[in-house]
């Protein structure tokens, strides 16, 4: 991915974030809703974007353009570019928010943004991704890219601003400080599960959702939450290259093939994921077939039962079963 010229920048790139848009993601901490037309309050203009909370980052992009910096601690060019991005975001004073994504701990976002090398920089405008550039560019070139992103955002009506608390703000007795709206109340087990996801403890979140379902098997939020965090847990700590290489090296390893389907779906390639699973089905023994059936039903929960790709996949699965 190279720098996109002004005439080539558009809202239709190769990146597909649908799987991250559709699921109820863990919230970006401290980001209450804003009245219409007011600056959107955020905890900081520089946020950590994660597989768990990126749905909220996408929601923020409906009002304010979001710059996405995919980086890693070991990446030397990242250490050159990240300070430039942070400095410019601060300079633009709320016209952008920067979401920093550590590729080592967020495989879904790494796959979704197709980060073949890092640093990779993209934008999200109105929930839609825009590929920008990779590599460490000089500040002057990065500034030009930012200006073009603002132009594109304006064309699509994304012209809001973000407001972060000033350093030292919020002291006791500050009568000018507006009250912060309370977050929607969640059942205690769901809140604990969200907190576990935020800190990357997926196994704890799985246990909490299972407890919620044991108490109430009709808890549809827990069913969906369990499916989503189980997907995160299966992909955690694995790279896209490792997953695909393992599957290619062992075509008869059902678990390896199932993980590729997880990877495809996490990157927004939902039809590819379902097709892969359905094509695997006929050659399997009963135990393998049941495993595929269960995985497909679980992935239905991840993308949402109202996703238009679910009914035809369900019909194909039924035909294979009977």
pLDDT in tens, 37-62: 467 888 889 999 888 888 888 888 99
Alpha-carbon distance of 139 to 309, in angstroms, equals 43
How large a percentage of the chain has pLDDT more than 70? 81
Where do you find CATH 3.40.30.10 in the chain? 6-163
Which is nearest to 267 in space by CA: 115, 159, 149? 115
pLDDT in tens, 84-135: 999 999 888 889 999 999 988 888 888 888 877 888 999 999 888 888 888 8
State the average pLDDT over residues 271-299.
94
Q: Looking at the DSSP assignment, which residues form a beta bridge with residue 48?
A: 100
Alpha-carbon distance of 167 to 144, in angstroms, equals 29
Other C-beta atoms lying within 10 Å of the C-beta of residue 147 = 12
83: left (phi over 0), alpha (psi -120 to 50) or beta: alpha
Q: Which residues participate in catalysis according to the annotation?
A: 75, 78
Torsion angle in degrees (nearest 10) through CA of 189, 190, 195, 199: 100
Say whether domain 6-163 belongs to CATH 3.90.1200.10.
Answer: no
Q: Which residues contact 204 (CB under 8 A, 6 or more apart)?
A: 193, 196
Cα 152 off chain centre by: 22
Alpha-carbon distance of 257 to 141, in angstroms, equals 42
Alpha-carbon distance of 61 to 80, in angstroms, equals 26
Burial class (CB in 10 A: 0-12, 13-18, 19+), 318: exposed
């Amino acid at each position: 991915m190279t720098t996109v010229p002004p005439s080539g920048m558009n809202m239709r790139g190769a990146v597909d974030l649908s799987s991250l848009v559709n699921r109820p993601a863990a919230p970006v901490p401290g980001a209450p809703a804003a009245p219409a037309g007011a600056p959107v309050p955020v905890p900081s203009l520089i946020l950590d974007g994660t597989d768990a909370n990126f749905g909220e980052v996408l929601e923020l992009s409906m009002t304010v353009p979001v710059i996405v910096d995919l980086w890693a601690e070991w990446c030397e060019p990242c250490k050159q570019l990240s300070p430039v991005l942070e400095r410019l975001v601060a300079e633009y004073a709320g016209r952008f928010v920067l979401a920093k994504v550590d590729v080592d701990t967020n495989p879904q976002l790494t796959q979704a943004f197709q980060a073949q090398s890092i640093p990779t920089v993209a934008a999200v405008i109105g929930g839609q991704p825009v590929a920008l550039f990779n590599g460490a560019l000089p500040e002057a070139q990065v500034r030009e890219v930012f200006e073009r992103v603002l132009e594109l955002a304006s064309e699509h009506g994304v012209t809001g601003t973000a407001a972060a608390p000033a350093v030292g703000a919020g002291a006791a007795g500050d009568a000018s400080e507006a009250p912060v709206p309370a977050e929607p109340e969640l059942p205690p087990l769901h809140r604990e599960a969200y907190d576990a996801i935020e800190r990357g403890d997926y196994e704890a979140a799985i246990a909490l959702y299972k407890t919620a379902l044991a108490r109430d098997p009709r808890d549809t939020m827990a069913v969906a939450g369990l499916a989503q965090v189980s997907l995160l847990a299966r992909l955690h700590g694995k790279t896209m290259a490792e997953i695909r290489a393992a599957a290619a090296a062992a075509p008869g390893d059902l678990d390896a093939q199932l993980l590729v389907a997880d990877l495809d779906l996490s990157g927004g390639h939902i039809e590819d994921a379902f097709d892969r699973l359905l094509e695997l089905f006929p050659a399997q023994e009963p135990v393998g077939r049941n495993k595929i059936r269960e995985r497909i039903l679980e992935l239905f929960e991840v993308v949402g039962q109202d996703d238009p790709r679910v009914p035809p996949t369900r019909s194909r699965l039924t035909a294979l079963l009977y």
